[in-house]
A and B are shown apart, each in its own frame.
Chain A
Amino acid sequence: MFYREAGDFKVSYEQDSQTFPIKFDRYRYYFVLFIAFLVIPFTINDYWASAILLPFLIYSIAAIGLNILVGYCGQVSLGTGGFMAVGAYACYKLMTTFPEVSMFIHVLLAGGITGVVCVLFGLPSLRIKGFYLAVATLAAQFFLVWLFNRVPWFYNYSASGQINAPEREAFGILITGPNAPAWATYLFCLIFLTFCALVARNLTRGMVGRSWMAIRDMDIAAEIIGVNPLKAKLTAFAVSGFFIGISGALFFALYLGAVEVGEAFGITKSFQVLFMVIIGGLGSIFGSFAGAAFLVLLPVILKVVGVDVLGWPTDIVAHFQLVIVGALIVFFLIVEPHGLAQLWRVAKEKLRLWPFPH
């Protein structure tokens, strides 16, 4: 009944190759965009913005970035936290050096700088593979955190080594700092997320994405059929770094406002984003959203249910959170090793045939 293709005729190549070929899917997509851009900004408050929506949007960008590297190109990376730190510190240095420039440009530049750094750390991937590459990116994680802690230039010689986001604007609207309105920070992140998701989706459908997937599926075979592994791997690192850098910049400037590198961008951050990608589904844009939502929203929901509704002690709830989230991760990976995205795919298949499965 839903997702019916009957009667939905494609008469041009453009129609045939659009992102959402099924009409119902396409309208659902427009509907989500409509709600996100035109309804939520008018109803949002501080709590929803800073506690739920901003982390969801920002982690989604990070998960899309990592998904390109791990899910599409098959290069395991444990350096996400370090690369997010590059984005954050690049953004901080740009914000404090060029205060009059729009935040929009700062965030994009921070992404670009992270892309370059990511390519540098991606160079070893041409020689080492699999677990060994994971260890090499782990080295990047520790090196970058150490660097931002060690060199005072990065934190403008402040006594504590913290970086604080000063008030900055984009299009004349305050975007960072405590006085920035909730809707503005939300929309700013949403624009970046939409942009990243569109770029990622279209890259992965095109020639670049196909060469990534060829490398992922079997690198020797890919090389024989003419895929250049140097180009494919390094473009994956560059694009992934660009997205992760954007997420790091937003994470620092809009979400937290003050950051200490070891605490905010430590190894746990790398694992958190990797879990999002794995739970959401490797090699799926939707999976990145689903994984980010799962790991951001579930603890908040559990907290609200446990503390506010049931009135349990906060420490018991915090321990339960760990247990429940851990158990759910194990459960999902056993029942559906391909992540939430696969569940969604299966559900769509079922709905397509419903109510007459054969």
Chain B
Amino acid sequence: MKMKLTTLALGALMAAGPAMADLVFPSLSYRTGPYAAGGIPFADGYADYFTLVNERDGGIGGVKTRLIECETGYNTEKGVECYESTKGEGALVYQPLSTGITYQLIPKTAADGIPLHTMGYGRTSAANGEVFGNVFNYPANYWDGASGIINYLLDENGGDLKGKKIALVFHNSAYGKEPIRTLEELSAKHGFELTTLPVDHPGQEQKSQWLQIRRERPDFVLMWGWGVMNQVAIQEAANIRFPMENFIGVWWSGAEHDVMPAGDAADGYKAVTFHNVGRDFPVFDDIQKYVVDKGLAAGAGDQIGNVLYNRGLYAAMLAVEAAKTAQEMHGTADITPAMMRDGMEALEMPEARMAALGMRYFGPAFNVSCENHGGPGLVGVTQWDASSKTWSLIADFQKTDSDVIKPLIDADSASYASENGIEPRCQ
């Protein structure tokens, strides 16, 4: 009997063998902890798109995708465990959705030869592909976000911000500190006055920061927040009757769950974005048909069409398109992480390609190149309407100030290169 069981088990293992040929996409998600409100919709969107690709197209180039989800809780120690436990499965690309975990994975993925895609987060200077061969942060990064907000304010104020006061409320971590350098440069260039107000993790306590804002009366408040910090900040802004249309968040501070708790008081709050919002795209019909109706939706299935769900969907779509590019480049359906990296570097996303996927104008059209892993950095602005409970795009994707950003990226990546002895590629 025991023999039989062993043979059975062996047989099962053999049968499970060919499953190794799947295209593996790990999802280092966080559905628990203080940042779960943002982690859940992103993870759902990411998972649902892969389910859709499997159900509708039979995988990528005929090979099924397999999503391995691992819970990090936004915690770097669990992130290490997740990375180590999934990398052996043939993981093609990592998207940790955490700047802290990204900083850890940059050297590790480089050593293991697995690409890392940090879409709109992580280390901004990774946009320099000459130094960071394995890391991609297209289509936009934090510094594009900072510049995009300032450009938008310039437009609103007739091209002049001289003498205006701008306050930055930021999460006191690597993530929140990223835009400060760019904003300082921009304040010198455009002559506005910048005040920075750090908020410590997790951000429930912001009374003193908003008291300062009330006292100093800045013209505009920018926010680099995540998790519970966002909704507290918006509530505090409402409490001091700060005009919401002058309060602009980065893309991680502009989702439904951030503005809902403040109710009508949040009406008019703005956030920048690098992808479109809402569910007015044909791809959502497919998701309804192939994923939701079949009962395959990830999580509770109640996040579809939310801002961060769309972002997860967009991230997964870009990963799938990069995998397709890699399959064409190397002429094999069964790609390795190294091939995936090549595919990401050669990725081209014209509008026609997105339209074919039922996602016309879902994000800006862009190309990735060996030198530029950050895309064109086109940034749009969305605004919250509390009565209809929807976000809408009020300013189209526009160019950011590369005169300011490019030298900063070059300087920061050059210091990383010299610290780690990296020779520039792409010659």
Contact = CB atoms under 8 A, between A and B. Distances in A.
Nearest to A49: B84
A194 to B, nearest CB: 23
Contacts of A178: 107-108, 110-112
B85 A260 contact: no
Interface in B112-152: 112, 123-124
A257 interface: yes
Interface size class of B (residues with CB under 8 A): 35 or more
Nearest to A257: B104
B31 A314 contact: yes
Given A51-B80, A256-B77, A166 B420 contact: yes
A317 B177 CA distance: 33
A168 to B, nearest CB: 12
A109 to B, nearest CB: 21
B69 A314 contact: yes
A102 interface: no
Interface in A299-325: 300, 303, 307, 313-315, 317-319
B29 interface: yes
Contacts of B156: none
Contacts of A314: 29, 31, 69-71
Contacts of B111: 177-179
Given A178-B111, A262-B201, A50 B84 contact: yes
Contact of A318 (B73, B85, B87, B107): B73
A149 B172 contact: yes
Interface stretch (A122-130, A132-140, A157-165, A339-347): A157-165
Contacts of B267: none
A287 to B, nearest CB: 22
A281 interface: no
Contacts of B107: 164, 177-178, 257-258
B89 to A, nearest CB: 11
Interface string B390-427: 00000000000000000000001000000110000000
Q: Is the interface of B mostly helix, strand, loop or mixed?
A: helix
A258 B31 contact: no
A159 B408 CA distance: 10
A51 B81 contact: yes
Contact of A160 (B29, B36, B69, B178): B178
A258 B177 contact: no
A248 interface: no
Interface in B80-107: 80-81, 84-85, 87-88, 99-100, 103-104, 106-107
Interface string B319-344: 00000000000000000000000000
Contact of B181 (A159, A164, A262): A159
Nearest to A160: B174
A164 to B, nearest CB: 7
A160 B76 contact: no
Given A166-B420, A318-B32, A319-B32, A263 B173 contact: yes
Contacts of B31: 313-315, 318
A51 B82 CA distance: 8
A307 B70 CA distance: 9
Given A159-B181, A307-B71, 20 more contacts: A46-B84, A47-B84, A51-B81, A159-B124, A160-B99, A164-B419, A166-B419, A166-B420, A178-B107, A178-B112, A258-B100, A259-B76, A260-B173, A262-B173, A263-B76, A263-B173, A313-B69, A314-B29, A315-B40, A318-B71
22 contacts: A46-B84, A46-B87, A47-B85, A50-B80, A159-B124, A159-B181, A160-B177, A162-B174, A164-B419, A177-B111, A178-B107, A178-B108, A178-B112, A255-B80, A256-B77, A256-B104, A257-B107, A257-B108, A264-B76, A307-B70, A314-B69, A318-B73
